[in-house]
Structure 1
Amino acid sequence: MPRKDTVARFSVSLPSSLLDELDLLVKRRGFHSRSQAVAALAREGLVEMKSEEGSGTMAGTINLVYDYRTRNLQTKLMAIQHKYYVMVVTSQHVHLEHHHYLEVLLVQGPVEDLRKLTDELSACKGVKYCKLQLAAEALPPLL
């Protein structure tokens, strides 16, 4: 059973060189304390673990770079997104140099299905880059 969100204290032993790197991370990322940095790293690690396990419902983004000159590519990409319309919350694309678009899809759903969506998009001729980045638990239901 999950605990309430109260603060729990525990002791950690680290090699001094790793502690120096942690202090540098605290400074560079603007954390207020080592505890805040360790909590952020733990959250990131847990999201990664959940995504690797492929279990549960999560939210994240799919980042695509593609050559818009490729025949019928945009139609194919839209058809795939429509097939998975329940998982694609929104999308945005911007024009890049050299005939490329960057498209970012905000997605949520079962991890296995998000991977299938990503795989289908990346398999399209003309797609140069396609990556799923899982970030958190799923968004609240849309009304």
Structure 2
Amino acid sequence: MERLTISLDSGLAEELDRLIRAQGYGNRSEALRDILRRHIEQARLQQEAESLHCVANLSFVYDHHARTLAERVMALQHEHHDLTIASQHVHLDHDHCLESLMLKGPLPRVRAFAERLSAERGVRHGQLNLIPVEAAADAHPHPHLHPKS
């Protein structure tokens, strides 16, 4: 591990300390490492997007009374079955639902799918959270068993 020394003006140092307290970091180093990782990942998403593989969460709120929207959303998921890992559906109130899709695949395809689905008439408040991963695009042939907790 390398040790770095940085100088911050007192206002910025106070803001960093407030962030540390609010988000529960143990110290400044932990907070700064997370901030740097996020910044590096965002830059990587912009610069290397064409070659990256990712996992993602697409969450959106929609009016379940919107004509044929549920069928259109389901059809899009089936058209992109290779990107869709799982979905979760939540009833928010009488008129609105929240759908959260877990996605994986080449970043440009995941982003294009998310944009297409979010543009459907009746979809509101869509948000895509992309996380670049080093994982291979192909699934491995052997079962992946998780130990029981």
Give the TM-score normalised by the residue count of structure 2. Answer: 0.83
Partner of 2:58: 62
Task: Select the residue among 33, 36, 39 that pairs with 2:30.
Answer: 36
Q: Secondary structure at the match of 2:111?
A: helix
Provide the aligned C-alpha RMSD in A.
1.8
What are the ranges of 5 or more consecutive residues in structure 1 without an aligned counterpart? 1-6
Aligned twin of 2:3: 9
AA in 2 matched with 1:19: A
* TM-score normalised by structure 1 residue count: 0.86
Cα distance in 2 for residues equivalent to 1:118 and 1:124:
10
Identity %: 32
Structure 2 CA distance for aligned equivalents of residues 68 and 132 of structure 1? 20
* Aligned residue-pair number: 137
Unaligned runs of 5+ in 2: 144-149
Tell me how far apart the structure 1 counterparts of residues 20 and 40 of structure 2 sit (CA, whole Å): 20
- 2:60 and 2:88 map into 1 onto residues whose CA distance is 10
- Deviations along 1:72-124, one digit per CA (max 9) or x if unpaired, are 11111011111111111111010012411100111122221111111111121
Q: Residue 104 of structure 1 aligns with which residue?
A: 100
Q: Distance in 2 between matches of 1:74 and 1:115?
A: 20
Aligned pair in 2 of structure 1 residues 37, 121: CA closer, same or farther (>3 Å)?
A: same
Match of 1:4 in 2: none
